[in-house]
Amino acid sequence: MNLILEGIVKAFWLIVSFDREVYEIMFLSLRVSGIAVLIGSLLGVPSGATIGLKEFFGKRFLVSIVNTFMGLPPVVVGLLVYLLLSTSGPLGAFQLLYTPEAMIMAQLIMVIPIVMGVTISSVSSIGKAIREKALSLGATNWQITLKVLKEARLGILTALIVSFGAAISEVGAVMIVGGNIRWATRVLTTAIVFETELGEFGLAIALGLILLLLAFVINWALTYLQWSGLRR
Amino acid sequence: MNEGFMEGLEEPMGGKSVLNYCRYVYKNITPTYSDKHNGASLMNQRTKILVLSSTLVVGVILAAFSYTQSSRQQSLVLATTTSTYDSGLLDYIIPVFERRDSVKVNILSKGTGESIEIVKRGDADVVLVHSRRLEEQFVADGYGVHRVGVMYNDFIIIGPSSDPAAIAGGSNAKVAFEQIAKAGAEGKAVFVSRADRSGTNMLELSIWDTLGLHPSDKNSAWYVEAAAGMAAVLRMANEKNAYTLTDRATWLSFRSQLPDLTVLVEKDQILLNPYGLIPINPEKYPQRNFKKAVALAKFMISEEGQRLIESFRKENETLFHPLARDFQLAHKLGFPDQEYEVAWYDSQEVELSFVGKMALSSIVNHEIALKGKFELFSFESHS
């Protein structure tokens, strides 16, 4: 009990004193997961919308594959990206292992199926009605897609919330491909593992609190957006 | 449904220049006078905000990307053991090297076995490890070159102060291990093993081996295989009131957090713990930064580096002792070619940072500096 209290006090101090290392770790976490979610939604939303709106052979099979990959274990993704980026692997020439870019890649692979899956389900639930109405008004395919996306924005925001939460709290993949290098690839989750091993429980608890706080602020912002979207 | 949504968006005109794009955005998104007088203006306002804010977000992220790209100076990946990193030694001496050579050293803190595997795949530039058998295998397989001894400390056997196996005060590791195994079989003692192919683990396994015991072969309740770093295993031993083998540096660094543990056996010859440094073979992986790996080795074994290592203290005790220039001791600890390797490193010229270059050119004449630089490109071993 003593340890936990000490940890919370230390956490408070680290946060209010703007400890340089803690803040750098925090910003790296935000950057890695933020970029992964951004690129992931740029790729996942259009492809998810296409799959959700179009009827084609094997659609059900494709959707179940996407849904399976939504539950991809991060460590497996980490292993895969590690083997790809290792100097003796197929993408070794780029020398990306143990860099933030490698961590973004790993999280991107995790995030894309989540964004795609949620987009598919929310688009297909409203797609039909809108499509018929829009067609009767003489809209082009492109305009229909945009309109459906607009109406499905609540579901897409949910996709962003879920995938960002998964990305920033994930530890297995970033540990493997990032290597937890101080001042370079140490993010909140890997730092918590490391500091716990060293017995720096204060720092570990501080980092944990910051992680919670970040997740809360971002979820709050997105939920706010979602609700204000509902009222429109 | 918004009324304005069907209005045809004008295609960007012909060329793809930024200017044309801006015109296009302006034309289609900025509300016009007539817009303000019908329902479309609200939506356009919203779209405009959306476009502007997403442009801003993309811009910030692109800037972050280009920042990470441009700030990537020369870097070096050092794969090392948890004992050198977790004890704080590397955080103490590496910044000195980084400043002087203007290079960023990325440290991977793993066990000896894992570190060596990482360099074998070409994912790090240099290892600093402690397992003679694995190191020599690594060099013999052609992955590493110019193995050199840097420093040493020693292993100790620690355990609960109650000492159920009654090994306290001994100086024979084998006898102590035998007694722990006996007490363990009777259910009185627990031993925590690193079980991660680290240098510490390799030594521990070799001691069991010479005793003809193989506790990891079967599921024995007294032998706990943690698969974790030294600090984590020490903590686990403290929680479980167990025995373990540890290097002295990690023990001293964490002693204050381990109230239930004490040193029981020390000062056995087989418990000496030398650390070797091996750069990656540049012929195997030319894309790695061999030059800086050599520079790091050169720094670690230099008089200055050795002094720094010795001056690193925790609770007023020296954690690592210099080894590089004590050739006799180095021979004894498994570095038969120490004086040749030290001479080879000493003969290597290091590319200095800009400040260093200025200092150099003001002292020595230009021709010598050029000649030194030329030598840097001919990596010939002594053999």
Per-residue b/e over A107-126, b at no fewer than 16 CB within 10 Å? bbbbbbbbbbbbbbbbbbee
β-strand B223-225 against B126-129: which pairing, if any? unpaired
Yes or no, beta carbons of B254 and A35 under 8 Å apart: no
**C-alpha to C-alpha distance for A89 and A82, rounded to whole angstroms:** 8
Stretch among A70-84, A114-128, B147-161 having the lowest mean pLDDT: A114-128
pLDDT at position B50 is: 65
Confidence category of residue B44, pLDDT binned at 50, 70, 90: low
C-alpha pair distances (Å), B59 with each of A168, B22, B168:
22, 15, 65
Residue A209: half-sphere exposure toward Cβ, Cα within 13 Å: 19
Residue by residue, DSSP assigns B156-186 as: EEEEETT-TT--TT---HHHHHHHHHHHHHT
pLDDT at position A196 is: 86
Let me know: does B150 contact B323? Beta carbons within 8 Å: yes
pLDDT at position A228 is: 76
**C-alpha to C-alpha distance for A110 and A105, rounded to whole angstroms:** 9
Yes or no, beta carbons of A88 and B65 under 8 Å apart: no
Residues B72-93 have a mean pLDDT of: 88
pLDDT beyond 60 at B66: no
- Nearest-by-Cβ selection for A181 from B65, B108, B287: B108
Stretch among A66-80, B135-149, B251-265, B346-360 having the lowest mean pLDDT: B346-360
Confidence category of residue B376, pLDDT binned at 50, 70, 90: very low
pLDDT at position A142 is: 81
pLDDT beyond 60 at A166: yes
Tell me whether B229 touches chain A (CB under 8 Å).
Answer: yes
Domains of chain B: 3-70 (no CATH), 75-152+274-376 (3.40.190.10), 154-271 (3.40.190.10)
- Nearest-by-Cβ selection for A181 from B1, B64, B107: B107
Let me know: does B232 contact B191? Beta carbons within 8 Å: no
pLDDT beyond 50 at B365: no
Yes or no, beta carbons of A35 and B64 under 8 Å apart: yes
Q: Which residue has the higher pLDDT, B161 or B9?
A: B161
- Nearest-by-Cβ selection for B61 from A35, A139, A143: A35
The DSSP code for B352 is: P
Query: How high is the mean pLDDT of chain A?
Result: 89
Residues B161-188 have a mean pLDDT of: 93
Name which of B61, B72, B123 to mutate to probe chain A: the one with the most chain A Cβ atoms within 10 A of its Cβ: B123
Let me know: does B111 contact B81? Beta carbons within 8 Å: yes
Q: Exposed/middle/buried for A178, CB within 10 Å: 0-12, 13-18, 19+?
A: buried
**C-alpha to C-alpha distance for B290 and B277, rounded to whole angstroms:** 13
Shortest Cα distance, chain B CAs vs residue A160, angstroms: 15
Residues B256-266 have a mean pLDDT of: 93
pLDDT at position A133 is: 83
Let me know: does B70 contact B35? Beta carbons within 8 Å: no
Straight-line distance from the first to the last Cα atom of chain A, in angstroms, rounded to the nearest whole number:
48
**C-alpha to C-alpha distance for B247 and B255, rounded to whole angstroms:** 12
Q: Dihedral of CA B24/B26/B27/B30: which sign?
A: positive
Yes or no, beta carbons of A92 and B64 under 8 Å apart: no
Identify any residues that bridge with A119 across adjacent strands, giving them in sequence order: none
Confidence category of residue A144, pLDDT binned at 50, 70, 90: confident
pLDDT at position B310 is: 95
Token code pair at residue B292: 């800086």
- Nearest-by-Cβ selection for B123 from A97, A100, A133: A97
Residue by residue, DSSP assigns B62-124 as: HHHHHHHHHT--SEEEEEE-HHHHHTTHHHHHHHHHHHHHT-EEEEEE--HHHHHHHHHTT--
pLDDT at position B176 is: 95
Which residue type, as a one-letter code, is found at position B291?
A: K
**C-alpha to C-alpha distance for B344 and B337, rounded to whole angstroms:** 11
Apex CA B10: angle with CA B7 and CA B13, to 5°? 180
pLDDT at position A1 is: 64
Q: Which residue, A199, A203, A204, is CA-closest to A171?
A: A204
**pLDDT digits over B265-306, tens only?**
999 989 999 999 999 999 999 989 999 999 999 999 999 999
Name which of A193, A197, A225 to mutate to probe chain B: the one with the most chain B Cβ atoms within 10 A of its Cβ: A197
ipTM for the predicted complex: 0.78
C-alpha pair distances (Å), B250 with each of B14, B86, B155, B262, B313:
68, 7, 10, 13, 12
Domains of chain A: 2-231 (1.10.3720.10)
**C-alpha to C-alpha distance for B141 and B138, rounded to whole angstroms:** 5
| Set of chain B residues whose Cβ sits within 8 Å of the Cβ of A31 | 64
pLDDT beyond 80 at A71: yes
Let me know: does B285 contact B184? Beta carbons within 8 Å: no
**C-alpha to C-alpha distance for B270 and B156, rounded to whole angstroms:** 10
Residues B149-155 have a mean pLDDT of: 94
Residues A154-163 have a mean pLDDT of: 89
- Nearest-by-Cβ selection for B107 from A31, A182, A198: A182
pLDDT at position A85 is: 93
For A147, which residue in chain B has the nearest alpha carbon? B5
Shortest Cα distance, chain A CAs vs residue B39, angstroms: 14
Query: How high is the mean pLDDT of chain B?
Result: 81
pLDDT at position B177 is: 95
Yes or no, beta carbons of A86 and B77 under 8 Å apart: no
Stretch among A167-181, B50-64, B262-276 having the lowest mean pLDDT: B50-64
**C-alpha to C-alpha distance for B316 and B331, rounded to whole angstroms:** 29
